[in-house]
Homo-oligomer: A and B are copies of this chain.
Amino acid sequence: MTRHAITESRRRSLGAIALLLAATPAFGQSAPATVVSLPELLQASPASDWRKLDPADTLYLELPTGRAIIELASAYAPRNAAAMRALVRESYFDGSFIVRAQDNYVVQWSRLEDDERAKQMTAKKLAPAFARPIAGAPAFTRLPYPDTYAAEVGFAAGFPAARERRRNETWLVHCYGMVGVGRDNAADSGNGSELYAVIGHSPRHLDRNITLVGRVVQGIELLSVLPRGAGPLGFYEKAAERTPISRARMASDVPPAERSELEALRTDSKTFRALVESRANRREEWFKEAAGRIGVCNVPLPVRKAQAPARP
């Protein structure tokens, strides 16, 4: 027994990657028996398979332990993203708190209930974005494997998503790290002033019931390790247990020197298709039987520090 337990351990040279990329135009086909690690695959990817995060859609949450970075899903929840952006610019979340951490479920943040600004938000309504029409939606990279909850699952604009053509609807799904707009019983009672992030097995029963507005693309581990609240639903019972959010800002409002410049792998790229194929068919020596398939919430969505452009 060594530190290789529960992981791949055999890696091949980078030379095999071009072959893999070339040989996997679609999922479900038999693929070459090359073994390429995820880091190798990403390292070999062309710059054009990556997109820089839009600073206007990038939210920084400054926590005592560091910065958590959320990408907003403007193509799926434009009004909710805009409402959040406006709240952030009004410094609404500066001095807010993680008020809830429920194990295997969510962490949630907001201003405190007895706070004057929070009270003003209580009655504020906003049309939800549980789903949107397929027409006009970002390109959908479909997974050809069955899903428990939806007719079709895949990825769009970097987010895990689902769709149902009969209803002409597509929606984001509750995978690990997804961020949603907390609401009360009324569908329009979520207004962006209370947000949650998924920190456990994907609670897919929430899909189409609550507005997903983004994804934690860096720093989810700053949220997932927070002590669980002892109160009902994981709410903290003592003020001292709450983690303060000292500041929340849109990246576009942050001086360039203080920004975390990130880029995400395009989910409609060739590299992403190769990634899905290689994760559905694990060929590393450690694996004795590849699944031959992969769940939508098991596919990694790589994000990395933005690379310097190549010299002309």
Contacts and interface: CB of A to CB of B under 8 A. Distances in A.
Contact of A204 (B9, B208, B295): B295
A184 B9 contact: yes
B233 A104 contact: no
Contacts of A228: 221, 224-225
B202 A201 contact: yes
A160 to B, nearest CB: 11
Contacts of A282: 205
B149 A185 contact: no
Given A176-B201, A183-B1, A233 B7 contact: yes
B103 A207 contact: no
Chain A interface residue number, banded: 35 or more
A291 to B, nearest CB: 5
A231 to B, nearest CB: 9
Interface stretch (A89-97, A189-197, A303-311): A189-197
A54 interface: no
A184 B103 contact: no
Nearest to A106: B6
A279 interface: yes
Contacts of A298: 201-205
A19 interface: no
A165 interface: no
A184 B2 contact: yes
Interface string A284-305: 0111111101110110000000
A146 B180 CA distance: 26
Interface centre among A108, A184, A187, A220 (most CB of B within 10 A): A184
Contacts of A224: 103-104, 200, 224-225, 228
A110 interface: yes
Nearest to A203: B298
A108 B187 CA distance: 41
Contacts of A113: 2-3
Given A5-B183, A6-B210, 13 more contacts: A1-B121, A1-B183, A6-B233, A103-B224, A146-B146, A148-B148, A184-B286, A185-B286, A202-B298, A205-B279, A205-B290, A209-B287, A225-B228
7 contacts: A1-B182, A5-B184, A103-B224, A184-B286, A204-B291, A204-B298, A224-B224
Q: Sorted from nearest, which 5 A-B pairs have the closest CB atoms?
A: A5-B182, A103-B221, A148-B295, A176-B201, A146-B146
